[in-house]
Structure 1
Amino acid sequence: MPRQVDHDQRRRQIAEAVWRLAARGGLEDVTLRQVAAEAEVSARLLQYYFGTREQLLLGTLEILNEDAEQRARERLAKLGEAPGTQAIVRGVLLELLPLDRERRNRHVVYAAYFVRFLTDPALAEVARDAPRALEDLLAGLIAQGQELGQVPRDIDAAAEAAFLVAGADGIQTTVLLGQRSPEEAVALIDHQLARVFATETQNSV
């Protein structure tokens, strides 16, 4: 009896091959033939699962994003049943930093995609929505902190969320380039959060 094929696993096998090629030398010159060889599948099978080169890059990016969301949920779940608003915001921001091998590899692949984001409308759409979604999430959490008396009322939640996401993105690059250690990156995030999550009473001391 022929063995049943796990289609999700086969798609992941191909996606991981794209990610390895992206991390080693970018995506601009990667061909379907190279991906097939890296994934140890036939070019015909690769096209069966993903179609064109453009569809391959888009599909493997979507799988990468799904992975990132799943890993983020798992790490946030480890904070406990009632971690507090500041801890949740911190956890979200730390997902933007290459603090371990898994996150570093992911962010290197994202960096390889960056040029494609600038030139491919379909990929650009995927990339464009992610920061705003994070900003909206953090803005809601900061507003919640204001309601709980953990964040000063005069803080603009939306502006602060946008600043924190942009700041984490910038710090991410410096860690990837070895200009700043992961520990220093976390300390910078904590410094900003200490400023945001400060009650009016604490600010007056």
Structure 2
Amino acid sequence: MPRLADHDHRRRQITDAARRVVARGGLPAATFQSIAAEADLSVRLVQYYFGTKDDVLRATRQAVAADAALHIASAVSEAADADAADPREVIRAILLEVLPVDAARRDDSMVLNAFFFDEITGGASDAPSRDAAGAANYLETLVRDRIVLTGTDRRTAEIDARLIVAAASGLAQAMLADRELAPQAGELLDRLLDRMLTHR
């Protein structure tokens, strides 16, 4: 009988394949056939692990979101003492993790955007990106908490965090459309934070 670890590995193999399919062709490209071919598995095996296409897509979205959260947590923890570290630098590190500055993060951004646009356009998928708002709120909370450390009152910090995250999201969209922006990501973030966090 297969071990639980084997099942987890196989499920991850399938969701990784689905990520690549969606990153290349969007949600319409994600069929049992295309995902199975990408994973080099039989359609029947994919169906065994995920009963419906929406089950695969839901698990894929969750895997991408979970990986993003791990990357962000890692960026924060890399500061020797996150609470004592320069809040601006921690915010910068957090935002860099969510920008499509390399191939892997670009693919993940494409996948999350595919779910987001499917939801706002009333797409056919039953696996909508309902956690898109949750992800934005998570980022806003992280950024807000760092801004508060600069001595800014909580309400102002909340507004500034919302603006910073929204601006970073817009930059991420622009980077997906223009690959030439990736090398400038750090400079653009610095310009944004210099303006938003001035006199802090």
Summarize the alignment of residues 29-178 of structure 1 with structure 2, pairs less than 5 Å apart: 29-81=29-81, 82-118=84-120, 119=122, 120=125, 122-146=127-151, 156-178=156-178
Please give the TM-score of this superposition, normalised by the length of structure 1.
Answer: 0.82
Amino acid in structure 1 at the alignment position of 2:117: V
The gaps in structure 1 that reach 5 residues or longer are 201-205
Aligned residues: 194
Distance in 2 of aligned mates of 1:121 and 1:129:
18
- Confirm or deny: 8 A CA contact 1:174 1:180 kept in the other structure: no
Residues 66 and 124 (structure 1 numbering): CA distance in 2 closer, same or farther, change over 3 Å? closer
AA aligned to 2:100 is: P
Q: Deviations over 1:137-195 (max 9, x none)?
A: 2122211221xxxx5x6981111111111100111111111175223332221122223
Task: Give the 3 Å change call, closer, same or farther, for CA 76–139 of structure 1 in structure 2.
Answer: closer
Q: Are the aligned partners of 2:115 and 2:129 in contact in 1 as well (CA < 8 Å)?
A: no
Between the two proteins, what is the percent identity of the paired residues?
34
Q: Is the alpha carbon distance of 1:41 and 1:142 closer, same or farther for their aligned partners in structure 2, counting shifts above 3 Å?
A: same
- Deviation per CA, 1:53-103, whole angstroms, max 9, x where unpaired? 111111111011111112222333333335321111111111221112221
Question: Hey, what's the Cα distance between the residues in 2 that align with 1:113 and 1:22?
Answer: 9
Cα RMSD for the two superposed structures: 2.4
- Listed as ranges, the gaps of 5+ residues in structure 2 are none
CA separation of 1:132 and 1:73: change in aligned 2, threshold 3 A: closer
Shift of 1:46: 1.5
Distance 2:34 2:183 in 1: 37
Alignment-mate amino acid for residue 169 of structure 1: S
Q: For residues 25 and 155 of structure 2, what CA distance do their matches in structure 1 show?
A: 43
Partner residue, 1:203: none
Aligned residue identity for 1:158: E
Runs of 4+ in 1 over 4 A off after TM superposition: 2-5
Larger gyration radius, structure 1 or structure 2: 1
> Mean Cα displacement is larger for which, 8-17 or 104-113?
104-113
CA distance in 1, matches of 2:90, 2:71: 14
Equivalent position SS for 1:199: coil
Q: How far apart, in 2, do the equivalents of 1:101 and 1:24 lie? A: 12
Please tell me the residue identity of whatever aligns with 1:99. V
